[in-house]
Structure 1
Amino acid sequence: MVSSASQRKKSDQAAKSEREVAIIGGGIAGLTCALRLSERNYEVTLYEQDAMLGGQLSSKKSGKDGMYHDVYTHLFCDWYVNFWRIVKDDLKIKREDVFEPRFSVKLLLDPRGSRDSNNGAPKYVELKNPTTAQNVIDNLSSGALPTPDMFLVGFTLLDLVSQPFSSSILQQQSLNGFLYSRPYATEDCADLHNTILNEIWCTSSSDTSAAAYKDFVKHSLGSRGLPFAWLLRGSLEEKLIKPWRDKLEKVCKVEISAPVDKVELADDNKIELTLANGKKATHANIVLAVPAPELANLVMKGRPERTIVHRIPELSELQRMRTANILVVTVVFNERLPDIPREHVGLAASRGYLTFIDISQLWTDLSEKPRTVLVLAASDASHYPAGDDKLWGHLMLQELARYLPSVEPGDEWGDPKSNIDYSKSLAQNNRTHPLFLNDMNSEQLLVEPYYPEQLQNVFFAGDFCRNDVNMATVESAVLSGLHAAHELVKKTDGKSDISVALCDLPSSAQFAAAKLVLLPLAYAALAWSAVNAGVRDLASKDPEESLTPLSMLALIPPRYLADMVVSLENLAVALLSRHEPSGSNWLLQQASGAVARRLLAASDRLRDAAPEGSADTQRTFALMTDVLRAMGTRISEPRVAPAERVSPRTTRMETSGLLRGSGRYRPNFDYARRHRVKP
């Protein structure tokens, strides 16, 4: 007969074994998950294939002075609420001591069109997050684009977040398609958006999912914080990852340089791992927090009946996810360079969409040394030859020298005649740290943190997992780690106390109302831009090939009326939406509903408001109303943008329907990226 004490002991042992987990991947998603599980007394083993933790936020030592070189220099946005909560509450880091506030970024204009007008010096323009009236005014006068086009750049973002489209509709539309479907947009406006996307997320607007970008912009425009972002005053390893690792090593088993080669489902409902060195380990639960290409390999590798994809077949589509590696060169100069700002700088129309930041003005350890240290990055690695890091690194420096005359790269990497200390500089191809691309397919491929109906002890984390942000960011990775930990705790304990902080964002109705208020200004800006284009054509004697300024001016009234009809309906839909924030009281909800119903009836009342007269007059007015409604409906539907068509040309398409712009942000090379190849 088995004693009750023996039964309790076995039960306790079983419960304890259920609270054991292996986390594969030591990036931010895996570190977040490990942090939350370990503080709840879970037995956590963290496997990381590299010698350093952090993933895309990792660093490596190199050079004669043993300097840390970050994978990328990350901007940490002010609205990353879950990331900042970990920094403050768990890592005990005071933000103001370790991070430097940033209020803007800068664009360095192509010297072929700007240096003559700036007395030979590099010409920078400054852009700020348009969340305050002063920032909006500063952007309008920045010189990045003519004032009306700059207004439209911001207005298109507001228009995007105000759209009540379901995700399924936006999934069928790229950001470029959305921009080209706006009846007020200009080519300069679309080109600047494309430049920003390429330089930050390594993907063009014609490839970027409008749905994913809408989620990111909603958080950015909804943030009331100043500054808009923060930068570390040192390397990621020293300032962020080491404190995180020190905390975890007290309560977790951290295995570095331990790549996992295979994940299989064992007979006893456990998970069997095979490491690259041939060793095997068995765990009750696992969290897969590796990059998308590696995850696609792990879920399919092993004996067919024991693979994860055998139980969750849809994960085979992970192979369709696209990633990109950012080329990064840390450039240590022998001297201080002139005309280098503190902000992140994007090089307009540069080869490979180059950006740089001067970390010698940022890092505490470098600020007192008499030399400039730039981190130069190419968001589109396909513009540079793969294989020889020194070759593409030197080509990037040559492109930088075209914008900054003070840069002297020499004839090759290591040339002693240059003003660069190549012995301390480093080129990193980052093929092992790919960036997930939020392209048109990505919205349909996002991974859930847990599939309880198919597999109860496997969980997923990473910036490719579905969450409130969706766009590949640090906050997205943190959220995925929290979601995976929440699901695991809920499975083992029946409930979870792991919380996710939510951003205090304006509602969809507020965004829609703001768009409606500013709509007349948008069409006034379009008219202004058309006049500017006409003056430019007269001066250059080069008339528009697609849509003349005069034709555009004639189309503005019907376009405005059509857009007004749709905007009123969008506001009504937003007011009636059940997905609005739940904090509003009953009276406010009733009032909103009444307003919404009146807005939905506004279009029909156009007919009732028609002047009395002949039947022909009333029929004509009704026909105009129907046409405007049809035009408005068409405006909201996805439309293929010129850049998405089969033609590989990068030049302006003659049927774009947009005013031709200055071309300031169009690359000067004859190349059109259609689909990035997985590294």
Structure 2
Amino acid sequence: MHKVTIVGAGIAGLTAALRLLERGYHVTLYEQDNFIGGMLRSHKEHDHGDYPREHSYHMLCNWYYNFWSVAEDLGIEDNFTPREAFKFLYDGDLDNMPEMVNPGGIQDFYRNLTGGAAPPAELFLFMYSMVDLLSIPDSEDDKLDRMSFNGWLRGRPYCTDEVAQLHEKIWQTVWAIDSWQASARSYKTFLKYGNRVPVPQLWLFAGSKKDTLIDPFHAKLKQFGDRFELKYRHRLREVHPSEDGTRIERLVFDKVTKSPSVNPDWKVAKKDIVDDVSDENVIISITPGGMASMVTDDLYNADPALGQLRYLEAEPMASVELYLKRKLPGIPTEVVVFMDTPYEMTFLNYSATWGLKNTFLYVTVSDFKSLLSVKPERRDENQNLILDLKNPKTAIDYILREITAKLEITEADIDLFQTSVDTNTGEELFANLTGSWEHRPEVNTKFENLFLAGTYVRNFADVSTVEGACATGLIAAEGVRQAAQREPDKGDAGKPVEVITPDFYPSQMFQTLKIAWAPYAASAKAWTLADKALGINKLWPPKDFKFPKSKFTPNPENLGSLFTDWLPASKWNEKTLGLGPMFWNYTEDGKPRKK
């Protein structure tokens, strides 16, 4: 029987494990924490209430076909709920928020033009900038990777400060890095896939990720019986190659006392647990920083490309799980972006998706670096938060001071036992920074039996996403299968592991649109210059301005028709036809499917 060792039980490692188990392999999965999920973690390893703690909320796009394929195999088709808008919160006015609706496509052009996220002329230029970026052929991607998106945008003659700032908010909301750091190539890649299937712009988990994804995934893997082994709290410390440098021979782990991802005070309980993998294939799916620390002299000399991992960077971020003792009225179900506040914060109403009586807001804090200077939080002997919002002393003090200034929340409203802050310090997210593509490794290494997986590994999705993680897990599984074909004495290697690459519109289409819209872009830029000269839009939004409210609500009666009117299912690539919540829930003419 073919044996595989996988290190890291994030979505990439779990996906690889599933596909290989389906093909008859024996899989040993090592995980440093006492739970699985990685960056999609949702766990109860804490002392603060009955609900799982999570690492950020995740937005899933229609074009995540490899993820949807896995979800379908897990039988979790009903565990997702659609959203079509980002909302922008000024001065705590929940009843009057501008919005961006399905910004990846042109089908909502007029709705966005009048949606109030910026003056109409700036919003036109915002949308024109995406057309401009998508008009650049893929042959120019290497050049785009060497410039930041903000740098590229600021060099366009139509760009204004408001256009650049709106893109900045989108970048911070979705990827938690600044647009002046982010690769223009990565942004273009994300747009070109999203533009092909733009309605709705995203899907959310309809409940905790523990209930909707992690537990079903674990249950599926356990169905393979003795061929699946999961070893918790094993932290990889060393990777040793063979003497001739052609294979990985040994992995050395430390058994830890607590989950390192969520417990800074973890310790080593047992050292030097050695796994002889000389006769197995190995997939390592850990953070880029963790993998870089494994690259010793022997590894580097055998595969110098692994040294490039040192050039990859990751960004710290934090999240606050804000539980209230009451229901806060007027909280929307869409992702909300705090405007004019420090720390680049957004929030999602988890109480709506989790079905809770009292309000639970999940707040992401993208610009967290300065707050690393103070302790995350303080608690008393009963595990209740100790807050001081007037004279903040901890990271959560500073964050909640800004939130309570924007929303009608007092310190007395906060559930001090369940509210908490979570940082990813030591487990930072890979960041698609300028120039990173040339340093990112391929899935296949020069070692015959070593494969890498994770968002930092090269893949078609490029941007650090759930889909990118799934795709690299599948590519690694296929690499293992091909390696197993060279050892027929151990049994059948199984059928090929399929990786689905999404469709996208050709750059020539956007080149035509760019030329057609160029006179309007010039007029819009002239309009903005005139506005500034006359002081018309000196302050945005204008005082007492009422933003138009979206007529759309995500429900089965209208979502399907919105989607299929824009992109009939019959025009899709056969490989993607039928994958994802749109096809699970709606017929080709947009009617809800009967369950």
Residue-by-residue CA offset, 1:380-415 (whole Å, 9 max, x unaligned): 1113244522111121011111211x1113xxxxxx
Residue-by-residue CA offset, 1:224-254 (whole Å, 9 max, x unaligned): 4x32211112111111011111111233211
Q: What is the CA–CA distance in structure 1 between the aligned matches of 2:230 and 2:501, rounded to whole Å?
A: 30
Which SS does the other structure have where 1:143 is aligned?
coil
Name which of 485, 493, 501 aligns with 1:493.
485
Displacement after TM superposition at 1:57 (Å): 0.1
Residue type of the partner of 1:466? R
1:68: which partner in 2?
A: 52
Displacement after TM superposition at 1:171 (Å): 2.2
Name which of 68, 71, 74 aligns with 1:91.
74
> Aligned pair in 2 of structure 1 residues 582, 166: CA closer, same or farther (>3 Å)?
farther
2:543: which partner in 1?
A: none
Pair 1:288 & 2:284 matched: yes
1:547: which partner in 2?
A: none
Pair 1:175 & 2:166 matched: no
CA contact (8 A) 1:312 1:455 kept: yes
Residue type of the partner of 1:73? Y
2:176: which partner in 1?
A: 202
2:236: which partner in 1?
A: 260
CA contact (8 A) 1:63 1:425 kept: no
Which SS does the other structure have where 1:335 is aligned?
coil
1:376: which partner in 2?
A: 363
Q: What is the CA–CA distance in structure 2 between the aligned matches of 1:149 and 1:448, rounded to whole Å?
A: 40
Q: What is the CA–CA distance in structure 2 between the aligned matches of 1:291 and 1:539, rounded to whole Å?
A: 45
Displacement after TM superposition at 1:178 (Å): 0.8
Which SS does the other structure have where 1:342 is aligned?
coil
1:350: which partner in 2?
A: 341
Residue type of the partner of 1:408? T
Displacement after TM superposition at 1:285 (Å): 1.5
2:62: which partner in 1?
A: 78
Displacement after TM superposition at 1:132 (Å): 5.5
Q: What is the CA–CA distance in structure 2 between the aligned matches of 1:253 and 1:439, rounded to whole Å?
A: 36
Residue type of the partner of 1:74? H
1:298: which partner in 2?
A: 294
2:405: which partner in 1?
A: 402
CA contact (8 A) 1:271 1:286 kept: no
2:83: which partner in 1?
A: 102
CA contact (8 A) 1:122 1:403 kept: no
Bigger relative CO (Cα 8 Å, ≥ 6 apart):
2
Alignment of 1:201-220 (within 5 A): 201-220=175-194
Residue-by-residue CA offset, 1:570-597 (whole Å, 9 max, x unaligned): xxxxxxxxxxx999xxxxxxxxxxxxxx
1:533: which partner in 2?
A: 532
Residue type of the partner of 2:293? N
1:21: which partner in 2?
A: 4
Q: What is the CA–CA distance in structure 2 between the aligned matches of 1:230 and 1:203, rounded to whole Å?
A: 21
Which SS does the other structure have where 2:535 is aligned?
helix
Q: What is the CA–CA distance in structure 2 between the aligned matches of 1:539 and 1:373, rounded to whole Å?
A: 36
Alignment of 1:257-656 (within 5 A): 257-267=233-243, 269-276=247-254, 277=270, 278-283=272-277, 284-300=280-296, 304-305=297-298, 308-364=299-355, 366=356, 369=357, 371-390=358-377, 391-404=394-407, 406-409=408-411, 418-451=412-445, 454-493=446-485, 497-536=496-535
Which SS does the other structure have where 1:76 is aligned?
coil
1:51: which partner in 2?
A: 34
Instruction: Please provide the CA RMSD for this pair.
Output: 2.2
Name which of 212, 221, 226 aligns with 2:195.
221
Residue type of the partner of 2:410? E
Name which of 240, 246, 260 aligns with 2:213.
240
CA contact (8 A) 1:55 1:433 kept: no
Q: What is the CA–CA distance in structure 1 between the aligned matches of 2:537 and 2:211, rounded to whole Å?
A: 58
Q: What is the CA–CA distance in structure 1 between the aligned matches of 2:339 and 2:284, rounded to whole Å?
A: 38
CA contact (8 A) 2:84 2:201 kept: yes
CA contact (8 A) 2:240 2:251 kept: yes
Displacement after TM superposition at 1:461 (Å): 0.5
> Which aligned segments of 4 or more residues in structure 1 are displaced greater than 4 angstroms?
131-134, 267-270, 537-540
Q: Which moved more, 1:513-522 or 1:420-429?
A: 513-522
Residue-by-residue CA offset, 1:452-490 (whole Å, 9 max, x unaligned): xx3211101010111111010100111111111112212
CA contact (8 A) 1:200 1:379 kept: no
Q: What is the CA–CA distance in structure 2 between the aligned matches of 1:39 and 1:280, rounded to whole Å?
A: 27
1:662: which partner in 2?
A: none
Residue type of the partner of 1:500? V
Which SS does the other structure have where 2:448 is aligned?
strand
Q: What is the CA–CA distance in structure 2 between the aligned matches of 1:106 and 1:340, rounded to whole Å?
A: 11
- Between the two proteins, the alignment pairs up a number of residues equal to 494
Q: What is the CA–CA distance in structure 2 between the aligned matches of 1:396 and 1:122, rounded to whole Å?
A: 23
CA contact (8 A) 1:108 1:122 kept: no
Residue-by-residue CA offset, 1:364-390 (whole Å, 9 max, x unaligned): 3x2xx2x11111121011132445221
Residue type of the partner of 1:333? L
TM-score (norm 1): 0.70
Residue-by-residue CA offset, 1:7-62 (whole Å, 9 max, x unaligned): xxxxxxxxx4xx21111111111111111111111121111101111100001223
Q: Return 5+ residue gaps in structure 1 as ranges.
A: 1-15, 410-417, 541-580, 584-679
Q: What is the CA–CA distance in structure 1 between the aligned matches of 2:156 and 2:422, rounded to whole Å?
A: 40
Residue type of the partner of 1:533? K
TM-score (norm 2): 0.79
Displacement after TM superposition at 1:430 (Å): 2.1
- Write 1 or 2 for the structure with the bigger share of helix: 1
Q: What is the CA–CA distance in structure 2 between the aligned matches of 1:538 and 1:298, rounded to whole Å?
A: 54
> Aligned pair in 2 of structure 1 residues 387, 264: CA closer, same or farther (>3 Å)?
farther
Residue type of the partner of 1:291? T
> Aligned pair in 2 of structure 1 residues 538, 25: CA closer, same or farther (>3 Å)?
closer
Displacement after TM superposition at 1:504 (Å): 2.3
Displacement after TM superposition at 1:156 (Å): 0.6
Q: What is the CA–CA distance in structure 1 between the aligned matches of 2:103 and 2:468, rounded to whole Å?
A: 22
CA contact (8 A) 2:59 2:204 kept: yes
Pair 1:141 & 2:114 matched: yes
Which SS does the other structure have where 1:384 is aligned?
helix
Q: What is the CA–CA distance in structure 1 between the aligned matches of 2:181 and 2:537, rounded to whole Å?
A: 35
Displacement after TM superposition at 1:339 (Å): 2.7
2:131: which partner in 1?
A: 158
- Identical columns (%): 31
Which SS does the other structure have where 1:77 is aligned?
coil
Residue-by-residue CA offset, 1:226-284 (whole Å, 9 max, x unaligned): 32211112111111011111111233211111111111113594521111132111112
Q: What is the CA–CA distance in structure 2 between the aligned matches of 1:160 and 1:35, rounded to whole Å?
A: 37
> Aligned pair in 2 of structure 1 residues 539, 421: CA closer, same or farther (>3 Å)?
closer
CA contact (8 A) 1:336 1:372 kept: yes
1:641: which partner in 2?
A: none
Displacement after TM superposition at 1:538 (Å): 11
Displacement after TM superposition at 1:352 (Å): 0.9
Which SS does the other structure have where 2:421 is aligned?
strand
